[in-house]
Structure 1
Amino acid sequence: MIVRSRAPLRLGLAGGGTDVSPFSDEHGGFVMNVTIDKYAYATIAASDSGLVEFESLDSQCHETMAPAEVTLAPGPTQLIRGVYLRVADRLLGGRRPPVRIRAHSDAPPGSGLGSSSTMVVTLVAAFAEYFSLALGEYEIAQLAFDIERKDLGLSGGKQDQYAAAFGGFNFMEFYANDRVIVNPLRIKDWIWNELEAGLVLYFTGVSRSSAMIIDEQARNVREGKTQSIEAMHRLKQEAVQMKEALLRGDLARLADVMRSGWEAKKQSASSISNPMIDEIEALAFANGAHAAKVSGAGGGGFMMFICDPGDRVRLVRALSRSQGSVYDAHFTPHGASAWRLG
């Protein structure tokens, strides 16, 4: 039997960073995001050798070892090994089956599209299907969060795992003790189409480690830095305003909220923006963009722009002349899925 899975990457529309502890634990966090048709993929099959095989196609790394030798040591296959160990040791009663696991993503690590967390979600979904584990969206997302944040000790928030598991437009609430509420939004077709027609996704060409930025945000909250905490509260309220603009189809208001949210985001940590990002942002606004922001923690990766659909070609041409790359992207209503072959 072969099992395959995929889970969608996401764009953070508003509230990003408020899903990170300790802010979400102390104040509650609100995030508005949407998934796009870029995915992380995984395949699981039996291993006839009696060994476990981990293969990251993105990094061209292939590791083979005895089941008892699998560890959480850092490396290109760490996420895959982390999922294998959590599922085997916690959900299979300590049984470590010989399997071959392969994974890859449509976006590089550090892209700002939640690629690492989405990879963990698609791996969890694949394991759930392969071993007939009864896991719903909340269970898959929480398990992925536990693997990435607790087992592997990687810095980050919670929105990426829940976006990948649920899919679509979601308003998410994050509270202490890992309490999460996902509110799927029913977006009218014309709003969906108009927003998608004016969306431009741009890769800066610079992948960055989100951990440093997220650690700075968390440190600012722990140390009680007023400017950073006030910025986080503004981000939280702008997620509510973004939700209302989406539901009403007020796209001018949506652009206003995105602009102000990006300015507030830059106040939460010094490393979120830089001269390269400022230059690209200025170029975009000079060529029809109404709003701009970095997707994810900041510092590089993907940027997203909202413009009038009639100005999209002009904006794409201008950005294409810079050092990065423009990507086509469409919203998707579907979250993680897995299926069997044979």
Structure 2
Amino acid sequence: MMYRSKAPLRIGLAGGGTDVSPYADLYHGAVLNATLSLFAYASIEPLHESHIELYAADRGQHLSLSCVAEHPVDGELQLLKGVYNRIVKDFTHQPLSFRLTTYVDAPPGSGLGTSSTLVVAIVGAFAEWLKLPLGEYDIARLAYEIERHDLGMAGGRQDQYAATFGGVNFMEFYADEKVIVNPLRIRQHYLDELENNLLLYHTATSRLSSIIIEEQKRNVMQKNTASIEAMHQLKEQAILMKEALLKGRIDEIGEILDFGFQHKRRMASGISNPQLDEIYETAKKAGATGGKISGAGGGGFMILYCPGNTRYRVMEALKPFGGSFHKYQFVQQGLTTWSI
């Protein structure tokens, strides 16, 4: 038997960063995101021999491990080892023997939630194999705890829930790591127009999101007024974005994105840089009305809103920067698991 899963990557449309503690604990956060036709995949094949094989096919990394209950999570493939350790600790209470193969449609550091989505996919594959009684909130919370608590990786809370639930969601974040996911019922032709006008552009750079997130956290703890006020504005941006999508005021989205872009740069120093600013300004001169750097910032993907038929002028204007545009569709389905 083979036990498989896939979970969608996401773009954050508004409110990004307000899902990170301690801001979310002190002030409550709000994010609006949407999942894309780019996925993280996981496949588990049980083995009769007493050993473990881990293979990240997209990165060409392979590990053969002994069949024990816990493996150190330093070094290569720590996400894969971290999920295994937690599954054994919480559910099986004894070692497992298997081959785990993973693949992600976007590179690490892309800003599309790749790490968290991969963790969700791996948890889903184990849940399919072991018939674990886990609902959507359970899987998202478990993935969050593995990444943030067990592995100590800095980040927010939105990615695990987006990957698990799928679709367009308005998410709320509270103290004690409480998350509420509100799925939005958006008319299909509104989504079609958004999909047509919203370009997904890879800047040919990557970034280490943990550095940006740690600075953002310090700014809140040190009561940096400018940074905290910027986060308040981004939370307001999420509300504005929700209203525009639900009411079909699609061409307002560029302005709402631009509003967020200006405020997000005040959250932490590494969110933008001269190269990203130049890309953004070039896109606006060519007809884009707004956009944002996906994820924590610093590099990876950008989204650019191009009303009418300006998308073609924007694509031409950005050619000299050496990046690439990626086709996508919005998807409603979140984590999916199956057996063969």
- Aligned 8 A contact 1:320 1:326 in 2: no
- Aligned 8 A contact 1:59 1:76 in 2: no
- Aligned 8 A contact 1:52 1:98 in 2: yes
Equivalent-residue separation in structure 2 for 1:164 and 1:83 (angstroms)? 16
Residue 88 of structure 2 is matched in structure 1 by: 88
* Aligned positions, number: 340
Residue 151 of structure 2 is matched in structure 1 by: 152
Equivalent-residue separation in structure 2 for 1:330 and 1:291 (angstroms)? 20
Structure 1 residue 96 displacement after superposition: 1.4
Of 318-327 and 228-237, deviating more is: 318-327
Equivalent-residue separation in structure 1 for 2:331 and 2:167 (angstroms)? 6
Is 1:43 matched up with 2:43?
yes
Residue 53 of structure 2 is matched in structure 1 by: 53
Residue 181 of structure 2 is matched in structure 1 by: 182
Of 190-199 and 145-154, deviating more is: 190-199
Residue 285 of structure 1 is matched in structure 2 by: 284
Letter in structure 2 aligned against 1:236: K
Structure 1 residue 70 displacement after superposition: 4.2
Is 1:247 matched up with 2:285?
no
- Aligned 8 A contact 1:203 1:302 in 2: yes
- Aligned 8 A contact 2:69 2:94 in 1: no
Q: Spell out, residue by residue over 1:23-62, the C-alpha distance to the aligned partner (whole angstroms, 9 max, x if none).
A: 0011110000000000000000112321011111122111
- Aligned 8 A contact 2:69 2:88 in 1: no
Q: Spell out, residue by residue over 1:191-231, the C-alpha distance to the aligned partner (whole angstroms, 9 max, x if none).
A: 11110010111111111110000000000000001000011
Of 53-62 and 220-229, deviating more is: 53-62
Is 1:97 matched up with 2:96?
yes
Q: Spell out, residue by residue over 1:224-253, the C-alpha distance to the aligned partner (whole angstroms, 9 max, x if none).
A: 010000111111111111101110111232
Equivalent-residue separation in structure 1 for 2:87 and 2:158 (angstroms)? 22
Residue 26 of structure 1 is matched in structure 2 by: 26
- Aligned 8 A contact 1:238 1:257 in 2: yes
Equivalent-residue separation in structure 2 for 1:208 and 1:309 (angstroms)? 32
* Secondary structure of residue in 2 paired with 1:68: coil
Residue 317 of structure 1 is matched in structure 2 by: 316
* Secondary structure of residue in 2 paired with 1:21: coil
Letter in structure 1 aligned against 2:301: F
Letter in structure 2 aligned against 1:134: P
Structure 1 residue 78 displacement after superposition: 0.6
Residue 15 of structure 2 is matched in structure 1 by: 15
Residue 270 of structure 1 is matched in structure 2 by: 269
Structure 1 runs of 4+ with >6 Å offset: none
CA change 1:124–1:69 in 2 (3 A) is closer
**Normalization by structure 2: what TM-score?**
0.98
Letter in structure 1 aligned against 2:281: A
- Aligned 8 A contact 2:119 2:147 in 1: yes
- Aligned 8 A contact 1:72 1:152 in 2: no
- Aligned 8 A contact 2:69 2:95 in 1: no
Residue 79 of structure 2 is matched in structure 1 by: 79
Structure 1 residue 321 displacement after superposition: 3.5
Residue 224 of structure 2 is matched in structure 1 by: 225
Structure 1: which 5+ residue stretches go unaligned? none
Equivalent-residue separation in structure 2 for 1:80 and 1:286 (angstroms)? 44
Structure 1 residue 309 displacement after superposition: 4.1
Percentage identity across paired residues of the two chains: 49
Letter in structure 1 aligned against 2:49: S
Residue 167 of structure 1 is matched in structure 2 by: 166
Equivalent-residue separation in structure 2 for 1:28 and 1:86 (angstroms)? 29
Equivalent-residue separation in structure 2 for 1:309 and 1:76 (angstroms)? 46
* Secondary structure of residue in 1 paired with 2:223: coil
CA change 1:91–1:273 in 2 (3 A) is same
Structure 1 residue 69 displacement after superposition: 7.1
Equivalent-residue separation in structure 1 for 2:310 and 2:39 (angstroms)? 28
Structure 2: which 5+ residue stretches go unaligned? none
Letter in structure 2 aligned against 1:53: E
Equivalent-residue separation in structure 1 for 2:9 and 2:138 (angstroms)? 18
Equivalent-residue separation in structure 2 for 1:225 and 1:185 (angstroms)? 33
Residue 212 of structure 1 is matched in structure 2 by: 211
- Aligned 8 A contact 2:73 2:82 in 1: no
Letter in structure 2 aligned against 1:277: L
- After superposition, the CA RMSD in angstroms is 1.1
* Secondary structure of residue in 1 paired with 2:265: helix
